[in-house]
Amino acid sequence: MMRSAWSFRGRPLMMVEPNNRNGKDPFRLLDSTIMSGLPLNDQALRIIRQHSAKIEYSDKYFDDINEYRHVILPKEISKLIPKGKLLSDPEWRSLGVQQSLGWEHYMNHRPEPHILLFRRPKHIGAQQEKLKQAAQNPIVSKHE
């Protein structure tokens, strides 16, 4: 007995079959192309490769605690996201989104589901900026 976890245009993205041998998980993953990310089939991967260059990233904006940004996905890629799901880091990366570490997908923009809203604590961005500046300006010690 086969069952599909998600589908895209009527085609299954992940196939699982009963497997009671391990005693923990009754289903064994048969076809998953990206570990820990969204389970994507060859057609979905082709869509991501074709349209990932069209992903748009906003400038960062801030409040007292966090920095924020939004990412606008092409509609073709956004159709691969399960409705109403907040994506984990490996899941949004599997869709072709590229950002530095620390970003969290924290909200779905209901009127426009192709817009992903991200945030991260301000101190993470500041730490990464300091590391970038330190790499660009190495400290030279003067010993005579």
Q: What is the distance of C-alpha 90 from the center of its chain? A: 5
Instruction: Please determine, for residue 36, whether its predicted confidence score (pLDDT) is greater than 90.
Output: no
Place of tokens 């030279």: 140
**What tokens were used for 91?**
């899941």
Amino acid at 141: S
Q: Is 6 within 8 Å of 85 (Cβ atoms)?
A: no
**The predicted structure's pLDDT at residue 78:** 92
Considering only residues 32 and 107, tell me which one the structure prediction assigns the higher pLDDT.
107
Q: What is the pLDDT of residues 11-28, one digit of tens each?
A: 444 433 344 444 444 333
**Predicted TM-score (pTM) of this structure:** 0.64
Instruction: Please determine, for residue 141, whether its predicted confidence score (pLDDT) is greater than 70.
Output: no
Q: Is 82 within 8 Å of 46 (Cβ atoms)?
A: no
Instruction: Please determine, for residue 57, whether its predicted confidence score (pLDDT) is greater than 90.
Output: yes
Q: What is the pLDDT of residues 81-116, one digit of tens each?
A: 988 889 999 999 999 999 999 999 999 888 899 999
Mean pLDDT of 60-64: 93
DSSP percent split of the chain into helix, strand, coil, nearest 5: 25, 25, 50
Instruction: Please determine, for residue 63, whether its predicted confidence score (pLDDT) is greater than 80.
Output: yes
**The predicted structure's pLDDT at residue 132:** 77
**The predicted structure's pLDDT at residue 28:** 35
How confident is residue 121, by pLDDT bands cut at 50, 70 and 90?
A: very high
**The predicted structure's pLDDT at residue 143:** 61
